[in-house]
Structure 1
Amino acid sequence: MSPVITAEAAELVSEEGANDGFSRADLLREAMLGVLDRHEPEVAALLRREGLSGEGLSPRLLARTIQAQAMWFQLLAIAEQNRDMRRRRNVERERGYAQLLGTFAHVIGSAAAGGIPAGEIREALASIKIRPVITAHPTESKRITVLERHRRIYLRLVDLESPRWTEREREELLRAISDEIELLWLTGELKLEKPTVEQEVNWGLYFFNENLFDTVPALYAKVEAAFARQFPEEAPLELPPFFTFGSWVGGDRDGNPYVTSEVTRRTLWQNRVACLRRYRSRIVELIRNLSIAEHALDFPAAFKRAVQAALDQIPDGAQIAARNPGELCRQYLAVMLARLDVTLARSEEQEPATTAGGYQHADQMLVDLDLVQAALVEAGAARLAQSLIKPMWREVSIFRFSTLRLDVRENTIRINATLGEMYRSLRGEEPPPIESPAWKAWLLAELGSPRAQPYDYPELSAEAAETLATFRTIGEMRMQIDREAFGALILSMTHSAADVLGVYLLAKEAGLFADALAVEACTLPIVPLLETIPDLRGASAILKELIAVPLVQRSLRRQGNVQEVMVGYSDSNKDGGYLAANWELSKAQAQLTRLGSELGVAIAFFHGRGGSVSRGGAPTGRAIAAAPAGSIRGQFRITEQGEVVSLKYANKGTAAYQVELLSASVIEHMLKSERETALIPRHEYDEALEALSGTSWTAYRRLMESPSMLAYLQAASPLEELALLNLGSRPARRTQARTLADLRAIPWVFAWAQNRHMLTGWYGVGSGIKAFLDVRKARGLELLQRMFQESRLFRLVMDEVEKTLLMVDLDIARAFAGLCEDAEIREPIFGAIAAEHALTREMVCTISGDPVLAQRFPQYRRRLARRLRTMNQVSLEQVQLLRAWRASGAEDVRHALLLSINCASAGLGATG
């Protein structure tokens, strides 16, 4: 056996602690090697011997070996996911569901034990809206076909947990796993062409069709059961749809020229068709199950009349009655099915429902389900109503006729350019500067001007006309698809209140106001996205100026008196480094929360987090628990990007755990954050974080402002080669400019991860701590060590920095740096990185008190150790492949290079 794979598997075997006689990792390893024996015996021999060694290997054999190692990382992740699920089940089995962290049973139980009354818990659940938002950010390197293979392998592992199988049946399951791995090996790992937006939409909907249509409604039953268990004397919960999903896929126009108004239109119909097909299968299932004879249950007279009226309204009503004589539930559900078929057929043709025959909107279907449910309850079959009808009622109330709430995202540059053209068309002159008082005055004047009909702007450029068309599409499609088909308009790179007012004006031009003259209130929620550190620092001023506008106040009252603000983790990190970004994000949330209280408006935060640490990735429960006290009110949204989506939602058990973990953590913060001493602001802690942030920012900016930084990164990483992977439909840059500032955060993080510098997750932290200790000496160290124990934010930052440092390998980083042939560029930059790396390791251990990095994360260290040797081999091969590709441009080298990038991403668990 290969020492690489055997060691990795052996560690997982001991960690699994399996009591059923076999190791999942060992099983998957043996199956994979068996497949390779049949198809690529040379690769199998390499893996059994010494692992990868590129010397003397042809590009083809090297590519196939790297592909095998990437597949092993994927199989190892499946085994670990299966292990994690079994661990959670074991805890529940041994200690009870209420002792399982991240569950509503635990949160409500601990809240009740802490004296929080049932009424406050009920109010929190009734007032919060939680919405994970799936994005098409290009950080997912796995195709849907690959995801399906992974899911089937996972399910077969779950099947093997049962002791009921005979030896013959067990062999069949093992054969099925081997077959899936063989198909995985024979499936093309790389995307041959850049995906279309429509394919990205299908990728997002895959997770609903496989898991989320089931797991989200089941969440509500868990909440109700947990509440009833703690407060049996209280009336049962009647939960509104507090947990829904959003999406940017097909609506995110920020820098993606392929997302047009027409693409958004088609996306909405795709989303609608997905849930309608789901509802059709659910109704068919209900018809099959609800075979209740009229003589066996005394249905209320009103329901009998409703059934007859429904049968009379459709052409084949008589046939339905004859097919199900005396079975009233089946008859009524069959009528519902007929109506739904009309709606589905028109939706598949992208045509709105009519008043004849079909359902025009989800509320009509909810009324029908209510009627059946009420009839069963009144007839004495409440249990059946609860277990059969209520789950579907929940589905329709959650997913409605749109599956997701689609956000539209556009950037400030495009919005203001469109407004500038509108100004020229209206005034016949050049507009004033965007940042001038005259510009804001014009916006306010136009917003206050009655507008019975939208203006015609015949001279707009194609880009400006398309921007305006997108807003008009929102108004049109919200009527055709569902009243909740859209979530909000997200304005990227918001720098001022005037930027947001400009969006209000475009909404007015598109008929998205509540009144006929379009002066009273906007019906589309408009969300400023604050991404850079200067914008985060100016957040309070921007929001205060915005909310002072009477139109905005009236619009917010229509939207529940909530102003949502999106905060960006990726660009703030790119702007100021990891420590400074996290402190500025926390400060901005605390300041905006206080401002909202002063103004009588709830400020709700939409967290633009990615999967990697550098893009805001952190353990869900801990990240929410570290948010400023009282900062979660009204609603909570968070982006789910790329590999995070498949990691969380590709398997039903994991998906159920993740949606409960997120929602339970949010509710726990709402209930407890303002009671907890850990979140009470402490001046000395805030002062220390301000000092640490300032000096770490200075160190980070000193490196970033090197005039040669972009040249170094382009040479010393696969930054430019990222586009060859065809991960997403969106270009890697917002514009064609070739500057560091213009580079998107995803390829920025991607490049530093692939070349094993990983500096986006740690650079500057060491300098920040050392400067602090140089000034404050022993008292400063005592303070930071106390903060390490007591400040959730500081501890979260330090923990994630420490885990990131474990993935840095300076020897490999130096090899990548060697790709930069200009020593005058290479040596100062790499020298600064190496020095800061040594300093940061020293400072982190000084604060934690541990002799080695991440000593307190044994499971994380084991997980990483299982991958590092192979990852290191692949990274060193990637250096040589980059050199060869850039020299020759040979296709076989390109293929091996892209597989090495995929393999490194699989080992790291993320691309960007």
Structure 2
Amino acid sequence: HPTEVQRKSILDAEHQIAHLLAERDLPLTPKERASNGALLHAHVATLWQTRMLRYSKLTVADEIENALSWYRITFLRELPGLYDDIENEIAAQFPQRHAQATNHGELAPFVQMGSWIGGDRDGNPNVNAGTMQHALARQSTTILDFYLEEVHALGAELSISTLLVGVSPELQALADSSPDSSAHRTDEPYRRTLIGTYARLAATARALGATNILRKEVGPAAPYANALEFTCDLQVLVDSLMGHHGAALIKPRLAMLKRASEIFGFHLATLDMRQSSDVHERVLTELLARAKVEGLYADLSEAQKVDLLLAELGKPRLLYSPYLHYSDETNSELAILRAAREIRQRYGARAIRNYIISHTETVSDLLEVLLLQKETGLLRAEWTDAPGNAFDAELELMVIPLFETIPDLRCAARIMQDLMALPQARQLIAKQGHLQEVMLGYSDSNKDGG
């Protein structure tokens, strides 16, 4: 947990001690065993002389860094490795199907990382548009640093010469576009390609906010427009090696790097947004009153709220005016949604995909967030002249109800049935691939019902 009381310094020392203890089970020379013992003694001494608990409260930025440290030592390599294990097991269990597969049995990317650190505002006033932008900038820097290290290492490994083996035309085209002009590498197209890839990644990292590239690139190059372009370049390397006696060179590093690019993109993890339904109601009460649409929205019945929200979703004009004064809470909530739209444009659609509503109790709680998305350009809708006054809309963030208390859990099925009975909701769900997530909580329900 990012707010864990135990310090990372303690966790790091324990991790090192565990590694050294495991190492002692290996066949070691007397000199190696003595060195292991000395390091073990040193880490134990560090552990007992290190303060165990924090004496000051963590900031959101601290929480973000704590979470990212675990990516570096686990997820970045372990998740691609998990895919390898599953692919190997499938190949062993179904050898004929594996042999017939056109993609060599490669699994589609079905695991994605998610995080709420920097995006969960429910009960945390320190989370705002700035913390969301900071979270994505740090996440992006973390994954791009990893890609840069791996591409650099891959360039050292793939020393294949065209004096000995051919390459694909696509690989040769990438090599020819590389900023590397060294005469020593004219016959090494893989290295030249990877030097160009490194340069493009470095340019991408700078464009996305990185300030410190550990190794300077050989020359200038255009940044990648998106992570898919980077994955496609890696696929060119894979295809060329497969077709020119280099299949054995893919597995050690290139396959892992390509898989990582599919899992993590340039955003590392999807940032989930979350806020309480009470806040949304207050914001819309103010927006509707200031726009002279409804002066007492919070006092309306549920049926009246639903009718009003659906009517507003179908109107082209916005409730918000840049020339009126609004409360700090309303300005902050709208700024956060605008920041979400900017983040998606900057880091890709996978950077933020979900908006979770805490304390969902009614259908209007869900429609309120749709209207707030419309106010900030995340939902673009218009009524058509088709029979039934059909609703046509593009929605960027899936609205996800969180049912947590025992009464809310009991009402969850009815609320979702009532939502899906609305043609507008059905249309949005259809455009989401006929997928609607529902979040069932555990914290409040445990406190409420045991």
TM-score of the pair, normalised by structure 2: 0.91
CA offset digits 1:546-573 (Å, max 9, x no partner): 1122222222222221110111111111
Once the two structures are superposed, the pairs formed by residues 521-670 of structure 1 within 5 Å of their partners are 521-577=394-450
Q: Residue 348 in 1 paired to residue 209 in 2?
A: yes
Contact 1:244 1:399 in 2 (8 A): yes
- Look up the match of 2:355: 489
- Look up the match of 1:443: 309
Distance, in Å, in 2 between the alignment partners of 1:441 and 1:570 is 33
Contact 1:523 1:555 in 2 (8 A): no
CA distance change for structure 1 residues 561 and 457 in 2, over 3 Å: closer, same or farther?
A: farther
CA distance change for structure 1 residues 266 and 302 in 2, over 3 Å: closer, same or farther?
A: closer
Contact 1:245 1:405 in 2 (8 A): yes
Distance, in Å, in 1 between the alignment partners of 2:374 and 2:278 is 19
- Look up the match of 1:376: 241
Q: Residue 409 in 1 paired to residue 270 in 2?
A: no
SS of equivalent to 1:296: coil
2:109 to 232, 241, 244: 241
SS of equivalent to 1:275: helix
2:186 to 325, 333, 357: 325
SS of equivalent to 1:242: coil
Q: Residue 277 in 1 paired to residue 140 in 2?
A: no
Contact 2:267 2:347 in 1 (8 A): yes
Once the two structures are superposed, the pairs formed by residues 61-76 of structure 1 within 5 Å of their partners are none
Distance, in Å, in 1 between the alignment partners of 2:433 and 2:252 is 33
Once the two structures are superposed, the pairs formed by residues 869-908 of structure 1 within 5 Å of their partners are none
CA shift, 1:418, in A, is: 0.7
Contact 1:521 1:551 in 2 (8 A): no
Once the two structures are superposed, the pairs formed by residues 757-906 of structure 1 within 5 Å of their partners are none
Distance, in Å, in 1 between the alignment partners of 2:329 and 2:226 is 33
Contact 1:432 1:438 in 2 (8 A): no
Contact 1:454 1:511 in 2 (8 A): no
CA offset digits 1:563-600 (Å, max 9, x no partner): 101111111111111xxxxxxxxxxxxxxxxxxxxxxx
Distance, in Å, in 2 between the alignment partners of 1:551 and 1:277 is 43
Alignment gaps of 5+ in structure 1: 1-134, 578-912
- Look up the match of 1:424: 289
Contact 1:247 1:407 in 2 (8 A): yes
Distance, in Å, in 2 between the alignment partners of 1:370 and 1:451 is 46
AA in 1 matched with 2:415: I
Structure with higher RCO (Cα < 8 A, 6+ apart): 1
CA distance change for structure 1 residues 491 and 453 in 2, over 3 Å: closer, same or farther?
A: closer
Aligned length: 429
CA shift, 1:229, in A, is: 0.6
SS of equivalent to 2:96: coil
CA shift, 1:487, in A, is: 3.3
Distance, in Å, in 1 between the alignment partners of 2:425 and 2:131 is 30
SS of equivalent to 1:294: coil
CA distance change for structure 1 residues 302 and 367 in 2, over 3 Å: closer, same or farther?
A: closer
- Look up the match of 1:147: 11
- Look up the match of 2:31: 168
- Look up the match of 2:74: 211
CA shift, 1:257, in A, is: 0.6
Contact 2:171 2:190 in 1 (8 A): no
CA shift, 1:519, in A, is: 5.1
Distance, in Å, in 2 between the alignment partners of 1:287 and 1:391 is 15
Distance, in Å, in 1 between the alignment partners of 2:183 and 2:42 is 47
CA distance change for structure 1 residues 553 and 507 in 2, over 3 Å: closer, same or farther?
A: same
CA shift, 1:177, in A, is: 1.2
Distance, in Å, in 1 between the alignment partners of 2:397 and 2:207 is 26
SS of equivalent to 2:378: coil
Q: Aligned residues: percent identity? A: 31
AA in 1 matched with 2:16: R
Alignment gaps of 5+ in structure 2: 212-219, 384-390
- Look up the match of 1:690: none
Contact 1:246 1:487 in 2 (8 A): no
Contact 1:291 1:330 in 2 (8 A): yes
CA distance change for structure 1 residues 220 and 558 in 2, over 3 Å: closer, same or farther?
A: same
CA offset digits 1:326-385 (Å, max 9, x no partner): 1100000000001111111233358xxxx9711121011011111111111121212323
- Look up the match of 1:289: 157
Distance, in Å, in 2 between the alignment partners of 1:172 and 1:487 is 49
Larger proportion of helix: 1
CA distance change for structure 1 residues 489 and 455 in 2, over 3 Å: closer, same or farther?
A: same
CA distance change for structure 1 residues 575 and 541 in 2, over 3 Å: closer, same or farther?
A: same
Q: Residue 305 in 1 paired to residue 173 in 2?
A: yes
Distance, in Å, in 1 between the alignment partners of 2:378 and 2:221 is 27
Contact 1:406 1:485 in 2 (8 A): yes
AA in 1 matched with 2:396: T
1:365 to 217, 230, 253: 230
CA shift, 1:514, in A, is: 5.1
SS of equivalent to 2:401: strand
CA shift, 1:425, in A, is: 1.1
- Look up the match of 1:721: none
2:196 to 309, 322, 335: 335
CA distance change for structure 1 residues 339 and 416 in 2, over 3 Å: closer, same or farther?
A: same
- Look up the match of 2:45: 182
CA shift, 1:323, in A, is: 4.4
CA distance change for structure 1 residues 144 and 487 in 2, over 3 Å: closer, same or farther?
A: farther
SS of equivalent to 1:233: helix
- Look up the match of 1:193: 56
- Look up the match of 1:156: 20
AA in 2 matched with 1:272: S
SS of equivalent to 1:528: strand
Distance, in Å, in 1 between the alignment partners of 2:105 and 2:351 is 26
Distance, in Å, in 2 between the alignment partners of 1:168 and 1:303 is 47
Q: Residue 508 in 1 paired to residue 374 in 2?
A: yes
CA distance change for structure 1 residues 386 and 178 in 2, over 3 Å: closer, same or farther?
A: closer
SS of equivalent to 2:231: helix
Distance, in Å, in 1 between the alignment partners of 2:423 and 2:191 is 53
SS of equivalent to 1:427: coil
Contact 1:224 1:237 in 2 (8 A): yes
Distance, in Å, in 2 between the alignment partners of 1:404 and 1:374 is 28
Contact 2:171 2:193 in 1 (8 A): no
AA in 1 matched with 2:74: N
- Look up the match of 1:584: none
CA distance change for structure 1 residues 445 and 526 in 2, over 3 Å: closer, same or farther?
A: same
AA in 2 matched with 1:248: W
Distance, in Å, in 2 between the alignment partners of 1:397 and 1:454 is 38
RMSD across aligned C-alpha pairs, in angstroms?
2.1
Distance, in Å, in 2 between the alignment partners of 1:487 and 1:432 is 28
CA distance change for structure 1 residues 464 and 453 in 2, over 3 Å: closer, same or farther?
A: closer
- Look up the match of 2:386: none
CA distance change for structure 1 residues 332 and 426 in 2, over 3 Å: closer, same or farther?
A: same
1:222 to 77, 85, 93: 85
Once the two structures are superposed, the pairs formed by residues 697-708 of structure 1 within 5 Å of their partners are none
Contact 2:356 2:402 in 1 (8 A): yes
Contact 1:513 1:519 in 2 (8 A): no
CA distance change for structure 1 residues 432 and 143 in 2, over 3 Å: closer, same or farther?
A: closer
Contact 1:491 1:527 in 2 (8 A): yes
CA offset digits 1:220-241 (Å, max 9, x no partner): 1111111111111102433221
- Look up the match of 2:214: none
AA in 1 matched with 2:109: P
Contact 1:450 1:519 in 2 (8 A): no
Distance, in Å, in 2 between the alignment partners of 1:263 and 1:422 is 24
CA distance change for structure 1 residues 405 and 302 in 2, over 3 Å: closer, same or farther?
A: closer
